[in-house]
Amino acid sequence: MLFNSVDFALFFPIVFLVFWLLANRNIFLRNSFLLAASYLFYGWWDWRFLLLILFSSIVDYLVGLQLGQADAPAKRKLLVGISIVTNLGLLAFFKYYNFFAESFVDAFSFFGRAIQVNTLNIILPVGISFYTFQTMSYTLDIYRRKLKPVHDPVAFLAFVSFFPQLVAGPIERASNLLPQFLEIRHFDEAKASAGFKQIVMGLFMKTAIADRLGLYVAAVYGNVDHHNGMTFMVATVFFAIQIYCDFAGYSLIAIGCAKTLGFDLMDNFKRPYFAHSFKDFWSRWHISLSTWFRDYVYIPLGGSRGSEGRTYANLFTTFVISGLWHGANWTFIIWGALHGFFQTVEKALQNAQRVRLPRSVSIVLVFTLTCFAWIFFRSASVPEAFQIIERIILHPGHRIYTGDLGIFSFALLAILFLLITEWIAEFRPDWTLLYHRSYAVRVFSTSFLILYMAGLGVFDNSQFIYFQF
């Protein structure tokens, strides 16, 4: 079920009303209803997906209970190993089997030997990369004795499948979200109002900005042979804004939906294109994933505890794995490797204390290199990405493709609106005091967003970009 669909527009108000009718009566009944609603939400795509999330949830629930009772190091390692193998095994099979099989064949072909490996017609379950990481972090935290296991199976299943953030995050930690399923809920009008405003803003970012820009990006990247370098530069900048508004918009809707139900989810984006370094960028972009990789990959690899060379290797490896997490394609691996390279070079320069740039210059530099990496992320293949880069460098051309002038103009208008609002939030947050103090300003701004969406939004039931990951 898509947030930007009629189905969800009917589904969520019903869930909201029933939830608050049950909230103060019985925690078990309330969580049972949330679990049923979440499974309906997820099974709307394909009911068979429910079997996977149920299996993964049951395994980690049982492993968590056993870890809470086990003291022997060998047994604890065995138990956490079961969780890791189960979750990564599901992820590897459904997401990466064909990729590794085809890469294996290509490797042998490179050395002049042809082999046959059967690929499978596998349907990628929506959100599997997100919920496997969320449930796996639960058992890892219990193993590290940072968390105690929960004994309520319904609360745990509801935590794993909580519909607002189920298919594209934020990837919540059990220490933050799980206790909220065990608390009595009281309706908070101010909190619900703030949540609905976040939903409206998220839908605006998706329909009026991301999907509007997506029309131009798809027209350019879908016809690589017919466009020049300048057009690709524009399309790449548009894609940078598109993927940000698409994913940040989803996160805002998820956070807003949860907030109306009394739940607090972590912020997932914080104006990433105003980052003045790549370290700063990853503290602002997909925060729930970047902190997950920091805590469960980078630090276990050794983090920055070893030599400088080992630290750089750990950093680079973490980003390559992050790229692979995003998709079974070499384009994503290269994208991750580029960010790993940017981070290691940046860290080496900082350690040497060689470079100090003005903040404005640093912001432009980070954004430019981020856009360069987005070329690989958006391209269908590595050769296509290099073809686009070649066009940008060697064949820039003299005219920018505008296609439908209306589409291009509305795209520029959307970017201008986003830039102004993000600039105010980043550099002049005091200007937002008027919004918080004036009821009339809040009503006007929310009404403006709704009317803008109604008039200029794109309502074609397009999926959120991160659903494919």
Tokens of 300: 């276990």
d(CA 320, CA 317): 5
The residue annotated as part of the active site, out of 226, 326, 339, 436, is 326
Query: Is 326 an active-site residue?
Result: yes
CB 67 within 8 A of CB 80: yes
- Find tokens 């042998």 and name the residue: 108
Q: Which residues are catalytic?
A: 326
